[in-house]
Amino acid sequence: MRLRIPPSPTGLLHIGTVRTALYNYLVAKKNNGTLVFRIEDTDKERGSAEFEKDIIDGLVKLGIAGDEGVHVGGKYGPYRQSERTEIYANYLKELIDTEKAYFCFCSKETLEQKREAQMQAKKPTRYDQTCRSLNADESKKRIENGESAVIRLKVNDDETIEWNDLVRGNIQIHSKELDDFVIARNLSDPLYHLTVVADDHDMEITHVIRGEDHISNTPKQILIFKAFGWNIPEFAHLPLILNDDKTKLSKRKNKVSVDDYLNDGILPEALLNFLALLGWNTADNQEIFSMDELIEKFSLDRVHKGGAVFDLKRLEWINGEWIKRKITENVYAFYETYHAFMPKNDPALVKQMLKDSDFEGRFKKLTDIQPELSVFFDPLPEYPKELIMREKFNITTEMLSKVLTAAKKVMESIDWQMGDRSKHQTLFDGLVGIVEQLGLKNGQVLWPIRVALSGRENSPNFATLAIYLGKEESIKRLKNALDQL
C-alpha cells in the first residue's frame, strides 16, 4: 500500500490536514505501507514558503509525516509540484497527442456570455465544446504561433463514473453532470486535477484518503486516470469536521492552526488522540489511545459518514488524561519536555507537586499548571468571607472559630518540613479528627480549613496544602483567618 498527504501551503498547518494525515498514517502503518508526503504548491498566488515550512515542521513534530517525501526525500521525487512542471507538460502533450484533451481558444468574455445565456435559459452551465471539434494539428500550430489557450479534457457524454468508496460505499456520477473541464491554463500551467492524478500515478499511490470536500473532484480525477489508461487508486472520503453549530470548521468559531493548540498547552499525543476520534471510534468507545493502540485498532470501515463535531471540551478532557498519564509515567521527562510551562521554582519540588494526585483532573492544559501550582508559592490572596463560610455548609462564626482553633492546635502538635510527604497521613488524620471532636459535618470543617490555607475555591486537599506550604506558613494562614472573624 502506498498512501499520500498532499497539502497545499495556503495557510498554517490546519487541524483538518492533521486529521487526514493521521488517518493516512494509521492505515499505512497498520498495513506496512508507505506514506508519501508531498506539497501541492501550484497555486502561486495563495501559497507561501512560510506556510510550507509550518506544515512540514508541524507534521514532522507530530510524528505523522510518513516515510517518504518532501521532508526526507525518496525515489519517487521531486515531491513539490513546483519542481514537476516539465513532467506535467509532457503528460499534457500526451493527452493532446492521443486526442483525450484539446486546446480551447474561447475567450473569457465568450465563455461568460454563453454562461449567462445558459443561466437565463435555466440550463446547466457547461462548456459547449466549441473547440472540441477543432483540427488538432491546426490547434497546435496556433499555439506555436503564440496564441493562448486552456487545455480541456474530453468527457464522454454518456458514461457512468463510479467507485467503491472505502468509507461511503458505492458512489456513481453520470458524466453529463460534468463538462469538458479545464486541466491546464497552458502547457506549463497545469491545474490541480491533472497534477494530483499525475503525482498519484508517478508515486504509485494505491489509496487516496482525503476529506469529503474532495468527493466532487474524484470523478474528474478518475476520468483523467482513465484517459491515460492508468490504474485507478482506491478512494476513501472522510467526514467533514464541523463547528458545534454544524457548519464546516472555521477560523471564526474555532482555532484551526495546530500551533495554536500546542502553544496553548495541548500535548501532541492528546491532539492526535482527539483527532483520531473525530470521525472514528472503536466498538467499545475507548477514549484514550497511544499511537501504537491507534495503529492496532484503526480501520476505515469504522470511519463515520456523518460530519464530526469539534468539541473543545472533549479535547481538554483527553488532554487532562494525557497530562496525568505523562506525569505518572515519568515526571522528569514531562518536566523537561514542557519546561516552558513549568513554574520557575525549585525543579525538584515542582516535580514532586506534579506527582501529587490531588491535582487530578485540574491540569486540562499545560497552561493550567503554573496557576494551579502557584497556590503553594504565591502569597495568600485576599478572599471574601462568603467563600470560607460557604452557604451550603451552614457555617456559623462561632463554629468557624472553633474549627480554625482546633486545626491550629493539630498543626502545632505535628512537626513537618515543607514538602515532607511522609507526614501527609498524620496531618490528614489529625484534621479529619476535628469533625468528630466537634461533632460537625465534613464540609463544616474541611472546607474552611482548605479555604484558610489556599484562599481559593479550588485547590488540592488541606493536608497537601499544609505539606507544601510548610508548618509555619500554614499556621500563619489559620491565624489570619481567625483574625478576620
Catalytic residues: 251
Task: Considering only the stretches 4-12, 176-184, 234-242, 345-353, report the one whose residues sit in contact with ligand GLU under the rule CB under 6 A.
Answer: 4-12
Residue from 6, 33, 307, 320 in contact with ligand GLU (CB under 6 A): 6
Contact status: 56 vs ligand GLU (CB under 6 A): no
Q: Quick one: 208 or 434, whose CB is closer to ligand GLU? A: 208
Contact status: 24 vs ligand GLU (CB under 6 A): no
Neighbours of 172 (CB within 10 A): 9
Residue from 36, 62, 104, 196 in contact with ligand GLU (CB under 6 A): 196
CB of 7 to ligand GLU, least distance (A): 5
The burial class, CB within 10 Å (0-12 / 13-18 / 19+), for 99 is exposed
Distance CA 74, CA 463 (A): 59
Contact status: 214 vs ligand GLU (CB under 6 A): yes
309's enclosing H/E stretch is strand 308-309
Which three three-digit cell numbers place residue 333? 521527562
Task: Considering only the stretches 5-13, 124-132, 258-266, 443-451, report the one whose residues sit in contact with ligand GLU under the rule CB under 6 A.
Answer: 5-13
Contact status: 100 vs ligand GLU (CB under 6 A): no
Task: Considering only the stretches 6-14, 315-323, 343-351, 464-472, report the one whose residues sit in contact with ligand GLU under the rule CB under 6 A.
Answer: 6-14
Q: Which residues pair with 52 in a beta bridge?
A: none
Helical segments of 155-207, H only: 192-202
Which three three-digit cell numbers place residue 451? 479555604
Contact 286, 294 (CB under 8 A): no
DSSP state of 303: B
Residues in CB range of 369: below 8 A, 6 or more apart:
265, 338, 341, 342, 343, 354, 363
CB < 8 Å & 24+ apart, contacts of 395-400: 395/444, 395/447, 395/448, 397/485, 399/438, 399/440, 399/444, 400/448, 400/481, 400/485
Q: Quick one: 84 or 210, whose CB is closer to ligand GLU? A: 210
Site string for ligand GLU, 389-428 (x = CB under 6 A): ----------------------------------------
Contact status: 8 vs ligand GLU (CB under 6 A): yes
Contact status: 40 vs ligand GLU (CB under 6 A): yes
Contact 193, 217 (CB under 8 A): yes
Contact status: 220 vs ligand GLU (CB under 6 A): no
Q: Quick one: 9 or 455, whose CB is closer to ligand GLU? A: 9
Which three three-digit cell numbers place residue 362? 485540574
CB of 214 to ligand GLU, least distance (A): 6
Site of grid cell 493527452: 95
Contact status: 47 vs ligand GLU (CB under 6 A): no
Which three three-digit cell numbers place residue 293? 493502540
CB of 8 to ligand GLU, least distance (A): 4
Which three three-digit cell numbers place residue 162? 463510479
DSSP state of 467: H
Which three three-digit cell numbers place residue 376? 503553594
CB of 218 to ligand GLU, least distance (A): 9
Contact status: 218 vs ligand GLU (CB under 6 A): no
Binding site for ligand GLU (CB under 6 A): 6-8, 40, 196, 210, 214
